[in-house]
């Protein structure tokens, strides 16, 4: 869909804005950085702090040790819980082993956990819309011991068996496709007319904004490159959305993943980045594309983001002078 005026000239680059780091990711990375300054290496981090190979490798180089389970952490050590949140059982194990926990769970995920605990206490059966196996989903399901059902599609809703159709509520994973989630919520309301949902949408502002930016990109470009790691849920949703809009879309971890064949006969190319991808990767992709004849670079701004989340109290007084990775353009 590149414009006619660009044919026979340099390939034009459109940069989606907003893209890259969200407030929850910024906060999580700062928590690891500041914890290293305050307590020194090693600092243990349960699971990847955010789903970005670049960020994880950068923090590992500084002295962060990434583990999957707490039994890999020496008793009494400092451990950080990732932005995705954890089940209550993980907190209990940390307390048993006298670990010093610093919680980097995104405040928007904590909001979902609070909704789950409130509704469970009030006697509701619960439904989580999300993708099985994702760390955020595991953490949310682990907030309560029972009466929790996971659905990932309209078909799952149609096949769902629940004990009650009156006291029923749902929450969602924060990084879903807005459009896909809307379809599943619609199916829940059709099947269970009295189901209760959250007061505000659980899908986070950054996920919605980045998806809206991809929809706008798709009106202008022939190809979309989504910068993000393969295990990043929100990055995968961006690639799927680009395809849904009829544009060839590719998920790349860095410029090294670009296949030159994707650029053949392309007049305009769009670039976006998942919420865990640093801006330095965007800059590298732009530089790479310029070696293949890309010329003008234009920001396509859908909305300006100015959200910030507070750090844990024990880290607020530390000077965050140096960052591990480049900050995003906002």
Q: Which of 48, 115, 136, 240 is catalytic?
A: 136
Q: What does the pLDDT read at residue 202?
A: 85
Q: 0.75 exceeded by the pTM?
A: yes
**Structure tokens belonging to residue 262:** 């994707």
Q: Considering the chain, tell me which residue range(s) the CATH 3.40.50.11270 domain(s) occupy.
A: 23-107+309-315
Residues of the chain where predicted confidence (pLDDT) is lower than 50:
1-8, 322-330
23-107+309-315: CATH architecture: 3-Layer(aba) Sandwich (3.40)
- Known catalytic residue: 304? no
CATH 3.40.50.720 fits 108-191, yes or no: no
DSSP sequence for 34-47: HHHHHH-S-EEEES
Residue recorded with tokens 């006619």: 4
The residues of the chain that CATH labels 3.40.1010.20 are 4-21+204-301, 108-191
Q: What element of type H or E holds 299?
A: strand 294-301
What region does 40 belong to: left with phi over 0, alpha with psi -120 to 50, or beta? left
- What is the reported pLDDT for 164? 86
Token pair in block for residue 320: 């965050």
4-21+204-301 CATH, one of 1.20.120.1750, 3.40.30.160, 3.40.1110.10, 3.40.1010.20: 3.40.1010.20
pLDDT of residue 329: 33
pLDDT in tens, 281-301: 999 999 999 998 898 999 999
pLDDT for the residue numbered 133? 95
Give yes or no for a contact between 202 and 112, defined as CB atoms under 8 angstroms apart: yes
């Amino acid at each position: 869909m590149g414009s006619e005026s660009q044919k026979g000239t340099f390939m034009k680059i459109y940069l989606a804005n907003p893209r890259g780091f969200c407030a929850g990711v910024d906060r999580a990375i700062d928590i690891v950085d500041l914890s290293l300054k305050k307590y020194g290496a090693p600092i243990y981090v349960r699971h990847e702090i955010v789903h970005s190979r670049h960020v994880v490798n950068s923090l590992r180089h500084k002295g962060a040790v990434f583990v999957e389970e707490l039994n890999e952490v020496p008793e009494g050590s400092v451990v950080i819980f990732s932005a995705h949140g954890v089940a209550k059982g993980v907190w209990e194990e940390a307390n048993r082993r006298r670990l010093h926990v610093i919680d980097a769970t995104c405040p928007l995920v904590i909001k979902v956990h609070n909704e789950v605990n409130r509704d469970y206490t009030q006697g509701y059966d619960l439904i989580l819309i999300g993708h099985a196996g994702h760390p955020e989903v595991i953490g949310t399901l682990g907030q309560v011991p029972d009466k929790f059902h996971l659905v990932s599609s309209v078909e799952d809703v149609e096949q769902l068996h629940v004990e009650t159709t009156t006291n029923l509520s749902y929450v969602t994973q924060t990084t879903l496709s807005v459009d896909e989630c809307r379809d599943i919520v619609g199916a829940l309301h059709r099947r269970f007319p009295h189901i209760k949902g959250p007061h505000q949408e659980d899908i986070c502002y950054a996920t919605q904004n980045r998806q809206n930016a991809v929809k706008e990109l798709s009106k202008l470009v022939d190809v979309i490159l989504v910068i993000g790691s393969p295990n990043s849920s929100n990055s995968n949703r961006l690639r799927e959305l680009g395809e849904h809009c009829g544009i060839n879309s590719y998920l790349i971890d860095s410029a090294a993943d670009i296949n030159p064949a994707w650029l053949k006969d392309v007049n305009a190319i769009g670039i976006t980045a998942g919420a865990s991808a640093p801006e330095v990767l965007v800059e590298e992709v732009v530089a790479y594309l310029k070696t293949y004849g890309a010329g003008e670079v234009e920001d396509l701004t859908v909305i300006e983001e100015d959200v910030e989340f507070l750090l844990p109290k024990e880290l607020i007084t530390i000077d965050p002078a140096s960052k591990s990775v480049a900050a995003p353009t906002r």
